[in-house]
Amino acid sequence: MDLGFSGEIWYWRGPAPFHFVTVPPEQSEEIAAAAPLFSYGWGCIPVRARVGRTAFTTSLFPKDGGYVVPVKAAVRDAERVSLGDVVEVTLALGS
């Protein structure tokens, strides 16, 4: 399953700080419907992601009834994006 959307990069400084993009509700519903096929522990879903031209592997995390995409520092650096920037994201579930 491939999905695309845009979203703002935000920062969570919890016990394991990281930058994320929130998956919009419509795409989160599609992911939730397919989650049983791909999910592992705590509802995480492995994906191949792309922000701009930079591809990477990660896992979606469930949050507030939807999902968030972690955006690694190497990806942010390669794309020259930072906190508050809106980025284009594509996801391929189950990778």
Quick check: 40 pLDDT over 90? no
CA nearest neighbour of 7 among 69, 78, 72: 69
Tokens, residue 35: 């989650």
Write out the residue range of the structural domain in which residue 67 sits: 2-93
10 Å CB burial of residue 4 (0-12, 13-18, 19+) is: exposed
Q: What is the CATH number of the domain that holds 57?
A: 2.40.30.100
Q: How many CB atoms lie within 10 A of CB 44?
A: 16
β partners of residue 54? 51
Number of domains in the chain: 1
- pLDDT at residue 43, as a whole number: 79
How sure is the predictor about 42, in pLDDT bands with cuts at 50, 70 and 90? confident
- pLDDT at residue 95, as a whole number: 63
Is residue 20 within 8 A of residue 9, CB to CB? The reply is yes
Q: What is the pTM of this model?
A: 0.88
Quick check: 66 pLDDT over 90? yes
